[in-house]
Amino acid sequence: MKKVFFALLFALSLLATNGMQAQNEYDNALGLRLGRYNGVTFKHFMNGKGAAEVILTTHPSYGWSARLLYEHHLPFFDVNQMNWYFGGGLYAGFYGNHSTLGLVGDLGLEYTFKAAPFCISLDWQPWFPIVNPYNYNRFVGDGGAFSIRYTF
């Protein structure tokens, strides 16, 4: 049921944004990611719609991870300064004596302030361990996070 819901949501989003261009107001952004795993995030737009993001996160009980993502941005209906994005990439996790490598997905919503050099975003990033899954026998979802970044 979840798969059908997300597929329908994705299709409707594509229809709603048909012919519109994402309008990012910055080239780079650096900030904090707050959620189940807290950390730092750096985003760089390579063109008007495509961005690369590096995320370093920590968790006091589990260790730390690094993620490298490509995100495709599209406008969120007719809301100025707001985009939704989707993408994916690679992650590496280091947990005590264990490490793991895998794939990570990304689905989010971002708002860029016009009057101040900041943007905020809310996203969901499920990851899928491939090498050394460290006791994972299915995907582990991040559960989402809130990010605030300084844009430049």
In angstroms, the Cα distances linking 5 to 2, 52, 111 are 5, 27, 24
- Residue-averaged pLDDT of the chain: 83
User: Are the beta carbons of 83 and 71 closer than 8 angstroms?
Assistant: no
So what CATH class is 2-151? mainly beta
* 24: confidence class by pLDDT, cuts 50, 70, 90: low
Question: 75-81: which pairs have CB atoms within 8 A and are 24 or more residues apart?
Answer: 75/17, 75/20, 75/21, 75/22, 75/23, 76/17, 76/109, 77/16, 77/17, 80/114, 81/23, 81/25, 81/111, 81/112, 81/113, 81/114
Q: What confidence score (pLDDT) does residue 135 get?
A: 58
Q: Per-residue pLDDT tens for 116-138?
A: 999 999 999 998 888 876 555 55
Q: Report how far residue 91's alpha carbon sits from residue 116's, in angstroms, rounded to the nearest whole number.
A: 32
* 144: confidence class by pLDDT, cuts 50, 70, 90: confident
* 95: confidence class by pLDDT, cuts 50, 70, 90: confident
Taking residues 23-31, report their average pLDDT.
86
pLDDT(146) > 70: yes
* 93: confidence class by pLDDT, cuts 50, 70, 90: confident
Q: Domain extents for the chain?
A: 2-151
* pTM of the predicted protein model: 0.79
Q: What confidence score (pLDDT) does residue 127 get?
A: 85
Taking residues 2-26, report their average pLDDT.
49
Q: Per-residue pLDDT tens for 31-85?
A: 999 998 899 999 999 988 999 999 999 877 778 999 999 999 999 999 999 999 9
